[in-house]
Amino acid sequence: MELHNQVIISMDSLMELVAEAAAKTAIGVYNEEHQMKQKERRRQILRNTKLLLENYRSFKTHISRSVYDLSTATESAVDLLDMMWDGTGNTLNIQSIKQSVLRTAVIMDHITKMLKIYKGYCRQSTPEAQRQYRVIRKMYVMDPPLTVEQISAEENVDVRTVYRDINVACKALSPLFFGIDGIQR
């Protein structure tokens, strides 16, 4: 009988160990998946930041040639930027030209204001940060834009430095464009 009780206790202990190991494995898998989703979300936000900058001049043209204006917009810039990433990586489908123009105008107003704020931050920061703002302005805001090679020559830096400046600036602009969702964790 005593041997039977020991076997039962041992089986109970074994089952506890198995359950504990399974729980730890499940938590590990969950944490890994969660980190991968967070990393993908950060990558998507950085991608959207770059897309907004790359299309800045086109957006400006779209708005300036439109028959609609910003005064009739109903969504906020934050709402519209949030819709840019729906969790699947798909972009938002716009229902009408009017909505498209109005949404673009709201987003452009937001981007323009955030670029001015970024410029102010950079002016009060290091010479490197000031150069990063100039690189973004020359590459995405100026019309006509400069090439990476032209910016490299003007700034007296290597082409790789220009690309690095773009990446650093986009990481700094993401929280300005997307709020808390744009923070790199």
Question: Contact, 56 vs 140, CB < 8 A?
Answer: yes
Q: What is the pLDDT of residue 13?
A: 78
Q: What is the pLDDT of residue 145?
A: 94
Helix (H, G, I), strand (E, B) or coil at 86: coil
Helix (H, G, I), strand (E, B) or coil at 146: coil
Rounded-to-integer distance, Cα 12 and Cα 51, Å: 58
Q: How far is CA 9 from the centre of its chain?
A: 54
Per residue of the chain (185 residues), what is the pLDDT tens digit?
565 555 566 777 777 877 788 878 888 888 888 888 888 888 888 898 899 899 898 888 888 877 666 555 555 665 656 555 555 544 444 346 667 778 888 899 999 999 999 999 999 999 999 999 999 999 999 999 999 999 999 999 999 999 999 999 999 999 999 887 766 65
Rounded-to-integer distance, Cα 24 and Cα 13, Å: 16
Q: What is the pLDDT of residue 68?
A: 61
CA angle 112, 117, 123 (to 5 degrees): 125
CA angle 73, 172, 34 (to 5 degrees): 90
Nearest to 53 by CA among 171, 158, 151: 171
Rounded-to-integer distance, Cα 1 and Cα 5, Å: 6
Q: What is the pLDDT of residue 22?
A: 80
Q: What is the pLDDT of residue 89?
A: 47
